[in-house]
Each structure stands twice: as C-alpha cells, then as structure tokens.
Structure 1
Amino acid sequence: MTGADDSVLPFAVAPLDLRGRLARLGPAIDAILSRHAYPDPVARLLGEAAALTVLLGSVLKSGGRFQLQTRTDGLVDMIVVDFDAPDRLRAFARFDAARLPPRGGVAADALLGRGHLALTIEQGGELTRYQGVAPIDGGSLEAAARLYFQQSEQIPTFIRLAAGQVVTPAGTSWRAGGLLAQFLPHSEERRRQADLPPGDTPEGFQAHEWTEDEAWTEAQAFASTVEDHELLDPDLSSESLAYRLFHERGVHVFPPHPLRDACRCSSERVESMLRSFSQAERDDMIGDDGMIGVTCEFCSTLRRYNPDDFRED
C-alpha cells in the first residue's frame, strides 16, 4: 500500500485505547522551506513545527483554522504556522542570521530558546475561539507540546517530530513527518497522569502515589521505536509505518487527510490593509521606484501598488 505525501493518516489501536495520527510532508514543506532559503537549522525547526501543526489541526472541520506560534529569546525568535481546514498549510520563521554559527552547528536550546508556545483554534461560525499556551524552556517543540497536553488537555500524549533533507533520484528535497499518539480510555481515572512538580512544598509533604496505566505504558513502548528516518522516508507509506509500529496489537487506519502549500494572502486583502493605514504611513512605504511594495511573510509574493490609488481626496 502506498500512502500519498502531504497527508495526515488517522489510526486507532483499540486494545490499547490508543488513537493517533501520522503526518508526512513532502512537496508542500519543500516549497515552503525552499522559497525562503532558510539556513538548515532554521528549516528543520520550521519543518517540525509544520508537522506538529498538521497533526493537531487536521481534526478541524472545513472552515476551521489552527495556528501554532512561538515567541522566544532564541536564535529563531518567532515561528508562525497556519493550517486552514481542510487542507491549506503555510508557515514562516523569523531568525537572527547574525547569531547563527557560520557552519550551521547550533544547540537546540539556543535555537529555540525560552519563551512560549501558543496554539490557537478557530472552529468557524459562532463557536468560541480557543488559545492554549505552554512554556518553552530551552528544549524542543516536542517537549513543549507534551507539556501543553499534560497541563491544558490532561490527555496522555506521545509526540515525535522529524524534518530534514532527503536525497532521491529526482534530487534533494526537504521532508517532515510526525507521530502523535494519545491514550483515550473511557475511564477518566485511567487517563490520569503524574502530577507536575509542585515547586516549593512544606516540610512533610507527600506526593500522591500514581501508577501509569499498563495499556499506555505498552503504547508508548511501541510508539517510541519510531525513527526519524522512518518519518522522512518517501518510500515508506504512512500505512506501512503504522503497521510496523503497532501490528502486534492490531492497528486500524482511516482515510488520510490531504494537505497542500497554500497562502491565504491576496491582492484584495493587501489593498484593504493599505487603506487602513493613514496617508502619512502610506507615504513612508513608497519605495525608490515610486511604488508601494508589500511582500507576504508566508509565501514571499511581492505585490506593488500605485500610491495614487490610495490618495485621500
């Protein structure tokens, strides 16, 4: 069975009360990363962020929006990834090129730094907008996402992310992938997790004794065997990878959700934005060629406008 690139594959392992998704990004993430010509460490981090975004956002119904955003003091001080259901993905990263080592070797904690991860869900219509926030403390996106689920959702969650360049007969291209597995038994008691460290505690305080559910222990053991190269291998389908990881317990896969690189910017949106500025602000935007140039941070599309079209009578 051959699973398509640029898709998210939902799966379930009923005996373990496990549900999850596998994300495999090929041409879409290659287009996003290549058009910005990011340095390799920045491209890998943004690829991981894109994989995490589609793992989380692909459950939304058409018309919903999911955004992942980081703001930190690291070399990459901001990442924004948008997923517009059912299939539109866009992303960009802001980084300090002067602080990047010339040969690209940089520790993960310096790259991401310390700050926060924000996940925003807009389900469309009259439904409430929701935002969850988790700290980033010099670790990885995986660690921040796991902490988010532990603190905010209280769902036992395993996450693995990978991004990198792969050489194929057609050439070298960027790829990204991710695995999300969640323990969702009917009993809330079985979903309980160990309490987070309480910080300063009074003398004699005894933490609540907690034993992890055996099914979740087993599920994590299977999921943790996934390797980065498996998530990035263009010749290994998502269906085959799901079977490889969980076949001992029986895994059921569902129809995949396709994805594509697509920006929501348009000439109409940019024109509306320009009209919202004052005349003085628009005058400051006029370039040497006498035109106003606006470049989309996501897709790098440059649009030029005649300032006379915005003059106030």
Structure 2
Amino acid sequence: MTFGQKLAWDDTVLPFQLDASDIRGRVARLDGVLDGILKQHNYPLQVEALVAEMALLTALIGQTMKLRWKLSLQVQSDGPVRMIATDYYAPEAEGEAARIRAYASYDADRLTDGGAMDQLGKGYFAVLIDQGEGTTPYQGITPLNGVSLAESAGAYFAQSEQLPTRFSLSFGRASFPGGAESWRAGGIMIQHMPKASPFVAKAKAEAEGAVLAAADLVDGEEGENWNRVNILLDTVEELELIGPSVPPTDLLVRLFHEEGPRVFDSTTVRFGCTCSEERVRQSLSIYSAKDIARMTTDEGLVTADCQFCSAHYELDPTTVGFEAKEASNG
C-alpha cells in the first residue's frame, strides 16, 4: 500500500452515535502513534502486528476515559508471545492529546512461521482502569479466544460489562512514495447500551459454562437494531478503515446514513511514555543499601531500562534506596 502525506485525521479517535439504533461508537486512525510505539523495539513482524492491534484497541476503548484517568490492556499467554501490555493516559486537560504506549514480551526461539494469533497460546485478556490517587483500580479479565485480540476484547465487554460490543479493525505496513514502510491502523468500535436483562443472560451463560457474546445481550427491537448495524459494518473495506481517501465522517455516512450518525469532538492521540529518573528512584526507594549493592553493576552503577520506550537510566547507588534518602535528609 502506498500513501501520500500525513492527514488531519491521522492519530485521532472520533466518537459517534447512531440515533436510530441507540448505538454508540468510535472511529480511530493511527499513524505516527504506531511508529512511535514500534520503533522503540525491533519486533518480528508477527509481534508487531499483535502490538499494533492492541494499540488500536487501546485507542478505541480508551477514548471514553475521563480526564487524567488511565486505561491499561494486557494479554498474558503461554505461547511464544508471553505478554502484551498497553497504557492509555487520558488528556490532562480539555483539548490536549491522549497518550499511548505499548510493548510485548516474547520468546524469539519459540516463534513460528504462522500468523500473529498463532504466537499466542492459552491465556487471558485483561482490562485495568485507574481513576487516580485515592481510588481502587478496576480489573476485569476474559479468556483469549484464539480468533483475534479484537474478538477477545468484544468478549470482555459482553462478559464483564454486559455491553454488546464489536470491533472492525485493519492494520498493516504502508509506504509513502519514495519513503520507508511504516505501520498504519484504523478501526471502528460499536457498542449497544443494553436495556433488557443482561444479568439474566450472564447467569444463564455461567450456568452453561460459556462466555457471553454480544448477541446474548440484546433481543427484540434492540436485537434487530444491533444485527442491522452489524450487517452494515460488514460492508466496510480495509482501505476505508486505514486509507487516506475517506475521512472518518464520510465513512460513517457511507456505512450508517440511514441510522442517523452524529459525531462529537475527536481526541488526538500520540505516543507518550511516563517513565523518568524520578520514577526509577521512587521504585528503588523500598530497598536497603544491602539490596542496592546487589543491584549494582561492575561499573558501580544501578541501571534500569523502560520496557515501553527503551529509555536507559544509570544511577549512583549511594543516592538510591531508603537508607540513602535518610542519610541525605540527615
């Protein structure tokens, strides 16, 4: 795929509502964000694809976060890719950009020639919401279903939130004329607020030992609306999701014009890491001088590397740990 210059709707998430269907959703386009995330590591192609999909899901789900809240998604598996972790930091103030970071942990010698999902074994998909200091973080998990990370995310919303949810995603390498390849991603998330009896559906699913799906949560007119919008979403094309020729607003009209689409203010997203020397010092503040000595390298330094952005920190061991702080305060 070859594309031209960067567009105004790259690295944005646009929320919308379908008034005729009582369905809400979001359209995301990621460009520079993925470059920022993936250039930090030399991932194999299958791992890059998994990280790109997780970053796109994080942008779509995270857009609902209130100011200064944090959303974390995590995949744990017993396959070659052991873990994928992402963070979404909501804007600090109205009009500012949200920040996303992501990384993956994997066993290179266990990677196969199969597709991205073949690198994940049995495991789970987890969502963590941190509302800030003085609050208890919320966490929910659902088993990986082996189809896609998007399908696992949809299962999470059905099972843990009782919200019928679907993701349609596209991502891959693209190239500018005469330029190097880079990753682009785009996706649509739709979500129906259930008015029926989701807790009855959940109880039935649990009794049968099954995981809830979106279709289990809607019936009657709501079910018809949900099915109709899903059929319309099935018509979306890959280039409409990630390509430069169709703005998100035009895409919504093309797909859902009879559903009364209404858009709201978009959110800009960028790659951003929160690591710092101060945070490293804080994490080491629980250790004694004896513990710090065990962490000291032959060069006489305590070192730390950020898994998200690959930043490298080198600290004087006499300046870290709770005993060093006591000495400096005395």
- 1:49 maps to a residue whose letter is M
Q: 2:238 and 2:289 mapped to 1: Cα distance?
A: 52
The residue correspondences of 1:27-38 to structure 2 (distance < 5 A) are 27-38=32-43
The worse-fitting range, judged by mean Cα deviation, of 64-73 and 220-229 is: 220-229
1:1-313 aligned at under 5 Å gives the runs 3-86=8-91, 87-101=98-112, 105-124=113-132, 126-169=134-177, 170-184=179-193, 187-188=195-196, 196=205, 198-199=207-208, 213-310=223-320, 312=324
Deviation (angstroms), 1:277: 2.2
Over 3 Å counting, the alpha-carbon distance change for 1:286 and 1:262 in structure 2 is same
Q: Which runs of 5+ in 1 are unaligned?
A: 202-206
Q: Distance in 2 between matches of 1:174 and 1:135?
A: 28
Instruction: Decide whether the 8 Å contact of 1:183 with 1:216 is kept in 2.
Output: yes
Contact 2:46 2:115 (8 Å CA) reproduced: no
244-253 vs 22-31, which moves further: 244-253
Distance 1:16 1:3 in 2: 29
Please state how far the C-alpha of 1:3 moved relative to its aligned partner.
4.4
User: Is the 1:3–1:237 Cα contact (8 Å) retained in structure 2?
Assistant: no
Q: CA deviation at 1:191?
A: 11
Distance in 1, matches of 2:71 and 2:209, equals: 36
The root-mean-square deviation of aligned C-alpha atoms, in Å, is: 2.7
Deviates more, 1:57-66 or 1:238-247: 238-247
The CA deviation at 1:266 is 0.9
- Checking the alignment, whether the CA contact within 8 Å between 2:24 and 2:191 is kept in structure 1 is yes
Instruction: Give the distance between the partners of 2:82 and 2:163, measured in 1 at CA.
Output: 28
Deviations 1:29-72 (A, max 9, x none): 11111121211110111111011112111111111111001111
Partner SS state of residue 20, structure 2: helix
- Structure-2 separation of matches of 1:288 and 1:222: 62
Query: Conserved in 1, the CA contact under 8 Å of 2:50 and 2:116?
Result: no
Q: TM-score, normalised by structure 2?
A: 0.83
Per-residue deviation, 1:271: 1.3
**Structure 1 232/284 Cα, relative in aligned 2: closer, same or farther at 3 Å?**
farther
- AA matched with 1:175: R
Give the conservation status (yes or no) of the 8 Å contact 1:116–1:136. yes
What amino acid sits opposite 1:140 in the alignment?
S
TM-score normalised by the chain length of structure 1 = 0.87
Whole-angstrom CA distance in 2 between matches of 1:190 and 1:38:
41
Q: Aligned equivalents of 2:226 and 2:309: distance in 1?
A: 41
